[in-house]
Amino acid sequence: MSTEGGPHPNPPLRRATIADVAREAGTSPALVSRFLTGNQRVSEASAARIRKAVDRLGYVPSVTARNLRLRQTGLIALVVPYLDNPLYSLHATGAERELAAAGFLTVVCSTRTKPDGSYLGRSFFDTLGAGRVDGALIFPYQEEVGDLDTLRAQGTPIVLIDRVPMLPDGIAPFDAVTVDNEGAVFNATVRLIEAGHRRIGLVSLRAGSLSGIPRFLGYKNALQAAGIELNRDLVALGDGSDLGGATLFAGLLDNGCRPDAIVVATTLQTRGALEVVRRRELQVPRDLAVIGYRHDQSVLWPEIPTYRYPGQTLGEVAAQMLLNRLSGKDGGDVLSESLGLEFVPSSPLQMH
């Protein structure tokens, strides 16, 4: 029997269901469902009884049930290599803002959590491919190509972020939002050349890595365009961490072929390089000209000219691309966009 007004005298301990609301309102579950979804009109008298029953029972619609009915989970995966790199938190911030506005929850996971940095991605991709998420934003590695293709074939839309792996024959291109690191390093090297420098060093990521290849190409092409021979003793490639940047930068200063200018091609390596500058009390650009990388939240000292990596924007654009794919507005074509890096000047480069 229904009780008029006020909270229910004996509220159920379990979560109220549509059937509970129907009994309380003296109507059918089908009518309650039509009222809650708004798919069909319900008489005002029935609507009033259902509203009262909903209030008295504290009924909250089940998101899980709704998603099962629509064959959606409401979840988007953001897959990054590590969780301790501030760039990936910027990706997540940008993506989460766009996805939340569209009603999706962002789930962040990493594929490189072993101490040796070895690949853990397959277990994540197996889970994602089981229909646990509606789509995925993925920072890819070359060895993941097969897993990515399998995940896509299972019906999970994918957008790659930052870079695109080389695709073997038979694997179609992926939607992707990339960053023009080749252009940024090319422009940085050209700026140093135009300032009169000729012995220009490069600190960057490992040779052959997806992120390292375009950076090295930008450096090499800028030297070639200026008629400057590439000197391998001025190139230091390796670990992309702060410590890696410090070690590589110090190695260039100490290898007997000291450069008069250096391009540092990642944000963390730039931070490590500046630690060496401070420790050795170098005056930039008087003793050594340096152009580095920064991101939206970088605090650098001493201040040097940098290229700003668009971390948060990258996440936003990738999320928008995935939402377009999910909505069917893309028309079926492969979606691709490349983001540039903004030059942030500091003190003028010393002329030679």
H or E element in which residue 264 lies: strand 261-264
Neighbours of 38 (CB within 10 A): 8
Nearest of 234, 230, 288, 291 to residue 266 by alpha carbon? 291
What is the model's pLDDT at position 14?
A: 65
Is there a contact between 261 and 201 (Cβ–Cβ < 8 Å)? yes
Residue 40's pLDDT band (boundaries 50, 70, 90)? low
Instruction: Please give the span between the terminal C-alpha atoms of the chain, in angstroms, as a whole number.
Output: 93
What is the rounded distance in angstroms from the CA atom of residue 21 to the CA atom of residue 55?
9
Does 2 score more than 70 pLDDT?
no
Indicate the range of 44-48, 183-187, 198-202 predicted with least confidence.
Answer: 44-48
Residue 41's pLDDT band (boundaries 50, 70, 90)? confident
Residue 297's pLDDT band (boundaries 50, 70, 90)? confident
What is the model's pLDDT at position 113?
A: 58
Nearest of 77, 91, 72 to residue 311 by alpha carbon? 91
Neighbours of 166 (CB within 10 A): 9
What is the model's pLDDT at position 162?
A: 94
Residue 128's pLDDT band (boundaries 50, 70, 90)? confident
Task: Give pLDDT tens digits for 309-326.
Answer: 999 999 999 999 999 999
Q: 43: which residues sit within 8 A by CB, 6+ positions away?
A: none
What is the model's pLDDT at position 114?
A: 54
CA atoms within 13 A on the CB side of 229: 3
Residue 204's pLDDT band (boundaries 50, 70, 90)? very high
What is the model's pLDDT at position 59?
A: 80
What is the rounded distance in angstroms from the CA atom of residue 53 to the CA atom of residue 47?
10
* Domains annotated on the chain, with CATH: 18-61 (1.10.260.40), 73-180+312-339 (3.40.50.2300), 181-310 (3.40.50.2300)
Task: Give pLDDT tens digits for 208-262.
Answer: 899 999 999 999 999 999 999 999 999 999 999 999 999 999 999 999 899 999 9
Does 10 score more than 60 pLDDT?
no
Q: Which residue has the higher pLDDT, 31 or 197?
A: 197
pTM for the whole structure: 0.78
Average pLDDT over residues 264-292: 95
What is the SS3 assignment for 47? helix
